[in-house]
Structure 1
């Protein structure tokens, strides 16, 4: 970027609010939510939604639980007008949902807007006019008095038209556009004039929407502006303060949260932050942020995947894979240390305890996500992630030293092939390394019996393709089988033995036994053998054979 003189951009002036209260506040209840996906969000699309997609989006917003939905700018086009009429005439608006429509503070646009609402049970008329110096001076050439008159005249007209349409309850919403760039004293003057013209009362409140139409300062400045208005507005008990943050500086979420701490009652925004330029505040993230703090957001995102699919279909905009809460990869860890911490956290997490799994700020199940893709493996992954997949997907809980050994196998594969390794690939590597290890010795069968107070075994194996029937005696089946294999010149020692049940994910009643035997041979180091069978003794003998095949050793000595 070309160098810009430091004096080209000046910091937005701080609000003179030395006794600000919002930093000490917390959000302890959900705000009034208003979705503008069908208006602000729709006008930001390179291909606006058609009637069918708008209806699908409207129904989805209702299912999520939005009680106020801005559905259109009906005076802007026949398409917008007809959509409003279709919702009303088709009886598609639930009784507990209030529709909202936007119009500029101009007489002919207001009259056309009222025409679109005939027959509605309840509706919010949202009017706006620009109030900041740049628009007053350069865009419209209006004085402050003219700006106030424009807003007040619009309110008088709305009162008149509402009285002529008594079957519809009309709620007034007013936005001083570019509020964040407007002098606070003047913003208050305009808003007070509007509430006075409407005759606002606690029973007939006005919604004063104070938008960050363009983000021009840090979120704390916006919070100061909201708190200043909250403390200085006339008829505060007859007003609902609404915030409508845009995301030009990338801080819309913070601005909305701090605005609520500063006294706002209501939030306007879109699913996944859709909207002009960098978008509106993301209502999904904002609501689920509340959820993580133990506050009921009053919106249902328990099937986040479905909401995301509808959004992407209707808007033709993709959701980033790392988008908070909803992205395909937000519950996925590739880093080895992260995977290890998540695995241990899941093992310790109790069903009725406070959620405390490392690196997961929310239980994926709360938004309808499964645990299947929480841990995925690539060249950055470690033993924790690999062992999690083996345990979660295939029911194999590996001893720690086997985790270390097998992670090296997976790491070498990842380094040589690149990219992500699927769970199926990890299982195949495990099977090739341990269950199908080598062809030197192959297990066929065994028979156990007692001999002289000890365990005896007749073991049938193939050694280098030649059938052998071996005999051994020991203090147990494994010791006897090891003696039988040693009699064929297969030299090894058992260093450790573990056995566990194995219940693959989704398999409720077909547990198998898995045996892990750590083995060593002189000058050959140590390695693991693994055996799986429905019978634990058979699994253990298979693990012995697996370990012998994996030990680098010379061919067995010829036996008589």
Structure 2
């Protein structure tokens, strides 16, 4: 006996689809099918009781901008002196208290600019200069810093096995000896030299390629440098622990920072600094996790310029703190001016998608995004009005926007931009922000279709000006005269003597240069006016939708009235509708204006024909 089985239509379809789709086999041209033969996973330090995952960032770190040194050296066309001066003063205006300005021993230009920075820096700004661990270069660097109120000498030495063995052919012991020798020379020429007593000298040592250095050796070499420098709690030594090359996931870098902090002695005499590059695209995340692990200071560049994929972006880090309610101690109130200086001096454009600063990051093109943003603004404005709250200081709760664009000098007009992918929310936002008109939902749907059609035809984004022009044309808005228009001369609305619940609209209109009486009956001013038009034009008109709202406040308040009129289309002999809007100080006048505007639009478009008077 054959056992029969029942298979559902869905199962049959699934089997059919499975059979019809051939298996996909990847063919590698240059990439290895098994990359493990060439690349090995990075092994970080083993922490049995890591603390950083449970920590939170509660304050801003010390910031150092290295735009003028690390950033500048990575430019295809480095900045000239005038550009470096402009950039330097912008960094000071933004609030940076530590600025690495140059590699003074590299060229006369860098030396001269360091002197300019020393002579023009505010008293509370520390000028930092980088030098290699060679005596004549160290002396030249310190000469460039003489007379500064605050100065930091920054030396470095590669400590990873790969760099020591491949680049420098140096053992760990030789590396420690070199680092100590350099530190002692810097100390002799700065804080131990009575002739430089007017300068507050700081010292920074970077075990370059820290992220690829055995952690025990990183601690060992820094201990030796610390002993040679003899820091104090009031003037700690700066140990900069750079991810010169980003080697692994951000959590591994955080483990490395925590390991270093747990194993270095005299932690109170040390400032732990980070300097993250972005090879894996994780520099911001790695830096934030390093702060959780106990780092005190961050080095980076504005908008992340730097070698290869760049240094960590200080704008992103600072504004990430800001949106968590933490003062970043940097002022990006005018982000556009920062973009202008950075792009002009670096001669490299900032990505339009760069967090916070990019041209497009506060813009929404998607219809669903636009609708959510529009609703968010409406609710926030309502809340602020009901609670008499200052808009600038009220809690920010707008979908898709983690930061109030106005806090960084951006206007709300740029928040929503309209193209063929946009929906009713985007179009309605532009009309609301530009004209003050909060379009009814059915009108939003109708007009957004017009906008999408126009954007498709132009094959580009529609600017607000173009949307406003299309709105005015589509709805005959603020058009003082159109062809064959009907103009109201005078009117009065009275009670119907035969039926007190009814109203009579009585007036005179001008039609094609001729004056005629104008009369209709209805339940109120609107319905009686619609009836008057129906009799005048010999077309049955009706009201499908009516809504109104106020514009402005106080003595300057106006009323906006929206009306959707039903009519019989003469060309198709089918029922149709047309929206219109009117604005006036008086609500009744606004509604009358909306009706006249809509009817005249129907006449102008040929949907209704005006009979001979």
Tell me how far 1:142 sits from its aligned partner: 1.1
Query: Which whole-Å deviations, capped at 9, do the CAs of 1:31-65 have from their partners, x for residues lacking one?
Result: 01111111101111112112211111111111111
Task: Choose 221-230 or 444-453, whichever is displaced more.
Answer: 444-453
Task: Choose 329-338 or 400-409, whichever is displaced more.
Answer: 400-409
TM-score with structure 1 length normalisation? 0.93
Structure 2: state its 5+ residue gaps: 1-28, 385-390, 498-502, 569-573
Assess, with a 3 A threshold, how the Cα gap between structure 1 residues 556 and 116 changes in structure 2: closer, same or farther. closer
Given the alignment of the two structures, is residue 84 of structure 1 paired with residue 114 of structure 2, yes or no? Answer: yes
Query: Which whole-Å deviations, capped at 9, do the CAs of 1:2-25 have from their partners, x for residues lacking one?
Result: 022421011111321121111111
Report if the CA contact (8 A) 2:124-2:150 is conserved.
no
- CA distance in 1 between partners of 2:611 and 2:112 (Å): 92
Calculate the aligned-residue CA RMSD, in Å: 2.3
Given the alignment of the two structures, is residue 525 of structure 1 paired with residue 553 of structure 2, yes or no? Answer: no
Task: Choose 212-221 or 527-536, whichever is displaced more.
Answer: 527-536
Assess, with a 3 A threshold, how the Cα gap between structure 1 residues 288 and 557 changes in structure 2: closer, same or farther. closer
Report if the CA contact (8 A) 1:490-1:556 is conserved.
no
Report if the CA contact (8 A) 1:201-1:235 is conserved.
no
Assess, with a 3 A threshold, how the Cα gap between structure 1 residues 207 and 524 changes in structure 2: closer, same or farther. same
Report if the CA contact (8 A) 2:105-2:131 is conserved.
yes
Q: How does 1:1-150 map to 2 (within 5 A)?
A: 2-4=30-32, 5-6=34-35, 7-88=37-118, 91-150=119-178
In the alignment, what sits opposite 2:3? Answer: none
- CA distance in 1 between partners of 2:189 and 2:177 (Å): 18
Report if the CA contact (8 A) 1:65-1:298 is conserved.
yes
In the alignment, what sits opposite 1:310? Answer: 341
In the alignment, what sits opposite 1:495? Answer: 544
- CA distance in 2 between partners of 1:495 and 1:204 (Å): 77
In the alignment, what sits opposite 1:515? Answer: 561
Report if the CA contact (8 A) 1:448-1:477 is conserved.
no
Report if the CA contact (8 A) 2:559-2:587 is conserved.
yes
Tell me how far 1:508 sits from its aligned partner: 9.6
- What is the SS of the residue equivalent to 1:487? helix
Tell me how far 1:475 sits from its aligned partner: 4.3
Among 410, 413, 416, the alignment partner of 2:457 is 416
Report if the CA contact (8 A) 1:444-1:462 is conserved.
no
Number of residue pairs matched?
554
Among 512, 522, 534, the alignment partner of 1:486 is 534
In the alignment, what sits opposite 1:477? Answer: 525
Tell me how far 1:114 sits from its aligned partner: 1.4
Among 246, 257, 262, the alignment partner of 1:226 is 257
Tell me how far 1:449 sits from its aligned partner: 5.5
Q: How does 1:290-329 map to 2 (within 5 A)?
A: 290-329=321-360
- What is the SS of the residue equivalent to 2:321? helix
- What is the SS of the residue equivalent to 2:298? strand
- CA distance in 1 between partners of 2:607 and 2:115 (Å): 86
In the alignment, what sits opposite 2:211? Answer: 180
Assess, with a 3 A threshold, how the Cα gap between structure 1 residues 427 and 204 changes in structure 2: closer, same or farther. closer
Task: Choose 404-413 or 109-118, whichever is displaced more.
Answer: 404-413
- What is the SS of the residue equivalent to 1:530? strand
Report if the CA contact (8 A) 1:269-1:280 is conserved.
yes
In the alignment, what sits opposite 2:294? Answer: 263
Among 465, 469, 481, the alignment partner of 1:428 is 469
Report if the CA contact (8 A) 2:476-2:598 is conserved.
no
Report if the CA contact (8 A) 1:336-1:383 is conserved.
yes
Given the alignment of the two structures, is residue 343 of structure 1 paired with residue 374 of structure 2, yes or no? Answer: yes
Report if the CA contact (8 A) 1:531-1:543 is conserved.
yes
Tell me how far 1:394 sits from its aligned partner: 0.5
- CA distance in 2 between partners of 1:379 and 1:449 (Å): 45
Tell me how far 1:309 sits from its aligned partner: 1.1
Assess, with a 3 A threshold, how the Cα gap between structure 1 residues 399 and 204 changes in structure 2: closer, same or farther. closer
- CA distance in 2 between partners of 1:331 and 1:323 (Å): 10
Report if the CA contact (8 A) 1:500-1:513 is conserved.
yes
Given the alignment of the two structures, is residue 459 of structure 1 paired with residue 508 of structure 2, yes or no? Answer: yes
Assess, with a 3 A threshold, how the Cα gap between structure 1 residues 147 and 439 changes in structure 2: closer, same or farther. same
Report if the CA contact (8 A) 1:336-1:385 is conserved.
yes
Query: Which whole-Å deviations, capped at 9, do the CAs of 1:405-463 have from their partners, x for residues lacking one?
Result: 22222222222222111112112222112126985653343322547544332231426
Tell me how far 1:389 sits from its aligned partner: 1.1
Report if the CA contact (8 A) 2:101-2:117 is conserved.
no
Tell me how far 1:127 sits from its aligned partner: 0.4
- CA distance in 1 between partners of 2:555 and 2:145 (Å): 60
Report if the CA contact (8 A) 1:35-1:70 is conserved.
yes
- CA distance in 1 between partners of 2:214 and 2:592 (Å): 83
Report if the CA contact (8 A) 1:305-1:326 is conserved.
yes
Report if the CA contact (8 A) 2:531-2:541 is conserved.
no
- What is the SS of the residue equivalent to 2:354? coil
Assess, with a 3 A threshold, how the Cα gap between structure 1 residues 42 and 557 changes in structure 2: closer, same or farther. closer
Assess, with a 3 A threshold, how the Cα gap between structure 1 residues 450 and 278 changes in structure 2: closer, same or farther. same
Assess, with a 3 A threshold, how the Cα gap between structure 1 residues 557 and 353 changes in structure 2: closer, same or farther. closer
Query: Which whole-Å deviations, capped at 9, do the CAs of 1:451-505 have from their partners, x for residues lacking one?
Result: 7544332231426x876443334443323322221222022112332233445xx
Task: Choose 236-245 or 470-479, whichever is displaced more.
Answer: 470-479
In the alignment, what sits opposite 1:157? Answer: 185
Report if the CA contact (8 A) 1:458-1:472 is conserved.
no
TM-score with structure 2 length normalisation? 0.86
Given the alignment of the two structures, is residue 210 of structure 1 paired with residue 261 of structure 2, yes or no? Answer: no
Tell me how far 1:245 sits from its aligned partner: 0.3
Assess, with a 3 A threshold, how the Cα gap between structure 1 residues 476 and 29 changes in structure 2: closer, same or farther. same
